[in-house]
């Protein structure tokens, strides 16, 4: 049965999956959501023994109904191949009595690879299916990981260009090098003088600029997004939660139909929303625990029902979570409002105008699947050190936020369910802070000088992505102020005409 997508801000029209992926963002500024969450065709027992690619086909077929099986198979085959350094694609590692779902074995060693390895293939097929002859211009803001994964995915893909904005000084040295050394005739990277929220708001404003849209169409170009506002980013993320449960079942780590709690380090809310979609598809998931760092806007929201970004923006050791406007939360707000686009649009307008909104008591009751928690810098560093000393396992700073929040929850919880923690990045991406957490003597050592010591300490080989970044030539040096972003985009597109 065909599944359609609609905007979170109006009830006027629906589109097919391929159209939603091409557009990225609805013309009214809303995000595309499926008219209903499809159920899995197979039971979890039937998925036992399946490869990652087989589970991906099951999930993508349910959501992307205007793609043929052959088209999806082709996308999956090209995405989940030798680019991943582990045959399981997303391996599970048991540490103590919790399970880490390692999502960083792709080409750029961050969880964004899980979706951005397949998005370019989904998008090029979508363009063909919809007879789009325009060049697709991918416009994306990044807090560190999406940018590199998108650049790697779209580099030299015919019929596409990509422009990535990132906050100068707001990402790790490795993250910045990964982006600024990116090759590809169609790639562009620009640092902004501001934080991630500034970059994200600037990109959204460019999407909504109707005059620019007309100019681009006249020149045979159109925008799309690689951020998780694009439903083509979100749907592939559902796959690894379905896969993880099936693997736990296969290995006897979880009983049939037993509820699994999941803790996700959260910034833009896409990764944990994917877990919610997996639950709605039929995966036996209990609590979804949203882990924040000191920028705890989501923790406060789940606690009070008020979303308020009017606060200091804190630069932390987990920069990919340094976010005060969690774009994907809009999809959840729309859902708990009973899919009332008018209510959601009003709340999003309040966020834009006043920097805050408050949900109703009834809406708050619909948040029962979620819990919020946060870990400060001290708790984050302590979790890295303690886990290494007790088990030898080394995690990055974002995963450590989730592990800390998970530990606090489990100490207080009345139930004793198995716990899955989404491990979102290789510790090599944040090696300076990871090493300083393990031993303070590394605190004043340059991050670039800690690669080899970390290899010796962790017994984990240096990923190819890190070696490439260290050896690569810096190709992108442009920096701009936030109000200049739209002009920078125009200049880039003019230059390449």
What are the residue numbers of the active site?
112
DSSP letter at 110 equals B
> If DSSP codes are grouped into helix, strand and coil, which group holds residue 38?
coil
Say if residues 5 and 35 touch (Cβ distance below 8 Å): yes
| Alpha-carbon gap, residue 77 to 176, rounded angstroms | 29
- Tokens, residue 232: 């083509």
Give the orientation angle of helix 270-281 with respect to helix 231-250, to 10 degrees. Answer: 60
* Nearest Cα residue to 152 out of 235, 84, 91, 89: 84
**49 near 243, Cβ under 8 Å?**
no
Q: Report d(CA 201, CA 42) in Å as an integer.
A: 40
CA nearest neighbour of 386 among 375, 377, 395, 376: 395
Residues in Cβ contact with 438 at an 8 Å cutoff, skipping those fewer than 6 apart: 384, 385, 388, 394, 457
Determine the Cα–Cα distance for residues 139 and 405; give it in Å rounded to an integer.
33
Going by C-alpha positions, the residue among 422, 425, 450 that lies closest to residue 436 is 450
**CA nearest neighbour of 409 among 373, 370, 369, 368:** 373
The C-alpha atoms of residue 142 and residue 10 are separated, in whole angstroms, by: 27
Neighbours of 8 (CB within 10 A): 24
DSSP 8-state secondary structure symbol assigned to residue 241: H
The DSSP 8-state label assigned to residue 78 in this structure reads H
Task: Single out the residue of 368, 333, 336 nearest to residue 347, CA to CA.
Answer: 333
Conformational region of residue 305, where left means phi above 0, alpha means psi within -120 to 50, and beta covers everything else: left
Between CA 461 and CA 355 the distance in angstroms is 44
Three-class secondary structure assignment of 160-192: EEEEEEEECCCCCHHHHHHHHCCCCCCEEEEEE
162: β partners = 138, 187
Q: How many Cβ atoms from other residues are within 10 Å of residue 264's Cβ? A: 29
């Amino acid at each position: 049965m065909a599944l359609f997508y609609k905007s979170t801000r109006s009830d006027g029209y629906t589109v097919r999956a391929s159209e939603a992926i091409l557009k990225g963002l609805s013309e009214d500024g809303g995000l595309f959501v499926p008219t209903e969450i499809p159920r899995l065709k197979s039971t979890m027992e039937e998925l036992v023994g399946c490869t990652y690619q087989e589970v991906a086909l099951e999930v993508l077929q349910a959501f992307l109904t205007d793609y043929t099986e052959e088209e999806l198979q082709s996308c999956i085959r090209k995405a989940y191949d030798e680019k991943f350094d582990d045959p399981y694609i997303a391996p599970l590692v048991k540490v103590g009595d919790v399970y880490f779902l390692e999502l960083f074995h792709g080409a750029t060693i961050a969880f964004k690879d899980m979706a951005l390895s397949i998005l370019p293939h989904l998008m090029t097929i979508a363009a063909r299916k919809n007879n789009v002859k325009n060049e697709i211009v991918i416009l994306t803001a990044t807090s560190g990981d999406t940018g590199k994964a998108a650049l790697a995915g779209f580099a030299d893909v015919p019929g596409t260009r990509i422009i990535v904005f990132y906050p100068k000084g707001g990402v790790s040295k490795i993250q910045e090098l990964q982006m600024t050394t990116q090759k590809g005739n169609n790639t562009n990277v620009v640092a902004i003088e501001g934080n991630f929220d500034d970059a994200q708001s600037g990109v959204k404003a460019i999407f909504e600029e109707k005059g620019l849209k007309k100019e681009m169409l006249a020149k045979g170009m159109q925008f799309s997004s690689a951020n998780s506002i694009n439903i083509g980013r979100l749907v592939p993320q559902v796959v690894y939660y379905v896969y993880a449960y099936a693997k736990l079942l296969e290995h006897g780590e979880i009983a049939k139909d037993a509820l699994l709690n999941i803790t996700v380090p959260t910034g833009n809310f896409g990764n944990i929303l994917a877990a919610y979609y997996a639950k709605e598809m039929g995966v036996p998931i209990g609590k979804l625990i949203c882990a924040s760092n000191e920028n705890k806007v989501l923790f406060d929201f789940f606690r009070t029902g008020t979303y308020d970004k009017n606060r200091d923006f804190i630069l932390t050791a987990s920069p990919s979570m340094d976010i005060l406007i969690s774009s994907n939360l809009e999809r959840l707000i729309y859902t708990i409002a009973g899919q009332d686009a008018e209510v959601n649009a009003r709340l999003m307008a309040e966020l834009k105008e006043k920097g805050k909104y408050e949900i109703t008591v009834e809406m708050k009751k619909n948040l029962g699947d979620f819990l919020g928690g946060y870990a400060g810098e001290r708790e984050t560093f302590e979790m890295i050190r303690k886990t290494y000393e007790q088990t030898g396992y080394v995690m990055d700073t974002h995963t450590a936020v989730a592990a800390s929040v998970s530990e606090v929850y489990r100490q207080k919880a009345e139930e004793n369910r198995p716990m899955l923690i989404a491990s979102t990045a290789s510790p090599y991406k944040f090696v300076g802070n990871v090493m300083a957490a393990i031993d303070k003597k590394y605190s004043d050592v340059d991050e670039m000088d800690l690669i080899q010591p970390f290899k010796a300490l962790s017994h984990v080989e240096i990923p190819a992505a890190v070696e490439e970044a260290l050896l690569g030539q810096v190709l992108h040096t442009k920096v701009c102020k936030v109000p200049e972003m739209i002009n920078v985009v125009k200049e880039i597109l003019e230059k390449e005409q």
